[in-house]
């Protein structure tokens, strides 16, 4: 037991105790100068924090936009039987239907993968007979301007009429 508890229990006269200040619970009063200084300091800190937050948001946005985003369809798919030097597209193609045409267009160029089951004639002409392809190749592509009296080379195809023209002026003539 403490001395205070023993004294209370025995109803003895307590010894002298240390008196605590009564002002501890009150808010300290500042002078006008101190209040103004404190207010300006708080405002400065708040401004610095908002600037830092804006910079952090800006950096996060830049990093998010620059970060390479992998699409779900081209995730690295690993099987035990596939070698590690294969690209994700090759692994994806192995998993997909083997009788399906596969077209890829990217920065390296465009590729069309045709399964061994099909011939080029079957894919592009709808038949396997080579003699019928001559009629398809005889279609002549119009290479000169279709405006009357113009012999310019083809540059544009008019959207509405479908005519071939050599310049923007002729394009406007054909479309009107």
Buried b (16+ CB within 10 A) or exposed e, 60-71: eeeeeeeeeeee
Whole-number pLDDT of residue 82: 46
Closest CA to 98 of 114, 74, 81, 75: 114
Cα–Cα distance between 99 and 114 in angstroms, integer?
A: 8
Mean pLDDT of 111-132: 73
Whole-number pLDDT of residue 95: 62
Cα–Cα distance between 24 and 20 in angstroms, integer?
A: 9
Whole-number pLDDT of residue 66: 87
Cα–Cα distance between 67 and 61 in angstroms, integer?
A: 10
Mean pLDDT of 155-170: 87
pLDDT in tens, 137-150: 555 677 888 888 99
pLDDT above 90 covers a percentage of the chain that reads: 20
Whole-number pLDDT of residue 92: 62
Paired strand residues for 144:
153
Whole-number pLDDT of residue 79: 44
Q: What is the dihedral of CA 65, 68, 72, 74, to 10 degrees?
A: 150
Whole-number pLDDT of residue 78: 46
pLDDT in tens, 42-95: 999 999 999 999 999 999 998 888 886 655 545 554 444 445 556 666 666 556
Give the domain ranges of the chain: 87-129, 141-176
Which of the four pLDDT bands, split at 50, 70 and 90, describes residue 37?
very high
Which of the four pLDDT bands, split at 50, 70 and 90, describes residue 97?
low
């Amino acid at each position: 037991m403490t001395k205070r508890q023993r004294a209370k229990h025995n109803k003895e006269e307590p010894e002298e105790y240390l008196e605590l200040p009564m002002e501890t619970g009150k808010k300290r009063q500042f002078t006008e100068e101190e209040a103004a200084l404190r207010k300006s300091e708080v405002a400065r800190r708040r401004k610095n924090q908002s600037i830092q937050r804006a910079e952090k948001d800006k950096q996060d946005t830049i990093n998010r936009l620059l970060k390479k985003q992998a699409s779900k369809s081209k995730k690295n798919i690993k099987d035990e039987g596939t070698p590690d030097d294969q690209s994700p597209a090759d692994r994806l193609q192995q998993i997909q239907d083997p009788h399906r045409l596969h077209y890829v267009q990217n920065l390296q160029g465009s590729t069309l993968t045709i399964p061994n089951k099909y011939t080029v004639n079957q894919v592009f002409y709808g038949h396997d007979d080579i003699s019928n392809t001559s009629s398809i190749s005889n279609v002549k592509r119009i290479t000169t301007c279709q405006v009357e009296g113009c012999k310019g080379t083809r540059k544009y195809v008019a959207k509405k009429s479908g005519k071939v023209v050599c310049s923007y002026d002729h394009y406007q003539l054909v479309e009107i």
